[in-house]
Structure 1
Amino acid sequence: MDYLVSVVEHLDAETGTGPREIKYGVLHLQAAAEVLLKSRLLREHWSLVFSDPAKATSEKFAASDFNSCGTDAAVERLRNICGLDISKKDAAALKDLGKDRNALQHYGLTHSAEAVESRAGAVLDFLLRFLDAELLPLLDETERDSIKDDMTRVRSGLHSINGFVTERMNRLRANELKGTTDSLLPCSVCGQWALAVIPNGAHCHFCTTDVSAEELAAAFQEFDPGHPANECPQCCASTMACFAFMDGPGDEWFYCFTCQARYKPDELAGCTGCGRLWPHGREGEGTTQTLCDDCRRRIEDEELASRW
């Protein structure tokens, strides 16, 4: 709880969050996450906090003479052994926090302060929910009373961080993002729906991150294997993916991050020659055979050659 109090003090938007405040806010948030996750593992069994539970001994545990598991392993054990429901979103937020912590400790601030604070707010929100559901009910009344004031301070701090995010997003929606909801995506860096697609990539108006078309296509392949990047029929770049923009939930488009060409899913079909996605025409209720330009030219050349 002392770590969490330190986090909200360092990330208090009202007192200002410079590079030093961001650094120690993230370092202490990572420490808090590790301690709280492992505290829940300890409630299950002390051996689960060892990096290798098979080598755990009560003597080493009593002497604190062992290597403990990392955050990723703790999340996996809480899910698989303790049966806790930790969402993919929360697990990803914890993983991003670990990356931010390592970058800040060794290289300094590698993302904008706005991005780091937004990501930290997501983890802090998870940890408070985790405390409420998995740790506070296991404490006795005296223990709960001893951290009551700290919990109040931390909840107030989360409200301040979320207030900063809300205020910034409201300003952006009234200005830079006005009328752009049909071209907005969630930013992989700060998590806000402020990533506006532009030719050859996208720009996040919340954390000022610029993402190339290739990086976006790779991200969609990594996070949504069912919708891999495809070659665009218009510019031939392999940066076209299928997804839904902010405007119109559930309405998916095939969109090229390079040239901004977009197609409704029923406007494309696999080329019967090579399988590449290609616009197809319709005749009555049926659909004509779909051939891309390359396959059409190849067939025409083969037919011409056969006549000679």
Structure 2
Amino acid sequence: MINDKKRIKSQEIFNQLVLNAIDFLEHSVSEIEKNPKYSIINFCTAVELFLKSRLMLEHWSLIFNDPKQANLDKFLQGNFTSVGMEGAIKRLNKIPDLKFDDNAEKNFNTIRKHRNQLVHFFNATELEIVATEECKGWFYLSQLLREKWKDDFLEYVDDIDKLDKLMLNVRRYLQAKFNALLPEIEIKKKQGISFNTCPSCGFDSSENKVIAEISQFSDYLLSPDCLVCNFEAGKELIVSCPNCENGQIKVQELGKGECESCEYSINLDYLLDKYAESKHIEKGLFENNRAYCNSCEHFKQPTVVPYENIWLCLSCLKSYDYNQVGNCEFCGELVSGNLDDSFLSGCLMCEGMAGYYRDKDD
């Protein structure tokens, strides 16, 4: 009986959180022109409520500010202090299936800090800044609601679609900035720089910046960056097609891609063999030239390889400087990330000396 009551109440609170999030986001859009300050406050509240609602589906105690003090009676009565956005983000990212993009976390935290400044200090805020933050925020939030967490929000698909149409109204407040940037964009196009439509603000202002290239393969790594809203889309690895003469393959994640000309497909194993076959001893790199990725945590095989002047994960396209890849002091595996004190605390692949003694004691 208690379990049924808890389950029913959990679903009820989840629905209330989602409906309140939708309401706050609708108010955010309606206020952006006349009251940009309250628009960003309401938008931030909407994001926070959506994050809390998904966190609660994992377990009701996780929305308590202090899960150690979680109490079923207080939960059923709604009498408790809930976790804030910062805490919700940290908890979600500790759950493998719920972990989201680093750029999403960065954007949500930017909005949170902006909200806090406006709540505690009476600061004016520019419409253009608010529109930029909200366009990027909605891109990342809708990606979670419509893709990664789709099954959890199926009941609200129509509401999310309506919110998406509402957010188109926010984009128009960046039109003047796009118009001012058009001459610069045209000059860059004549220089051979390509532009895509930005998935955040919707303008043809996303510049494809080459951040690394391997001339011997005619391959390069792109990082699209919008000149209007500063949105950084996911990186793209451009690979010359091994099957036809002039074809190119765009790889965005998991090492998968298909040639635009002949439809030849490649996978992660192909890329690993292509970029990490030689030992690169002459460049002073590690003899083992495949490392495990600390970002996407691809445990099946090491996916980080030397790519010109950086290390690149061929699974998630996360790039690392040379000093961000090294051998764990405890297990010796080649991994990316912070390896300070790795002998004691371990790395992605082990728990270090502390874990060794803990297991021994158990």
Q: Provide the TM-score with structure 1 as the length reference.
A: 0.50
Select the structure with the greater relative contact order (CA < 8 A; seq sep ≥ 6). Answer: 1
Q: Which has the larger radius of gyration?
A: 1
TM-score norm. by structure 2 comes to 0.43
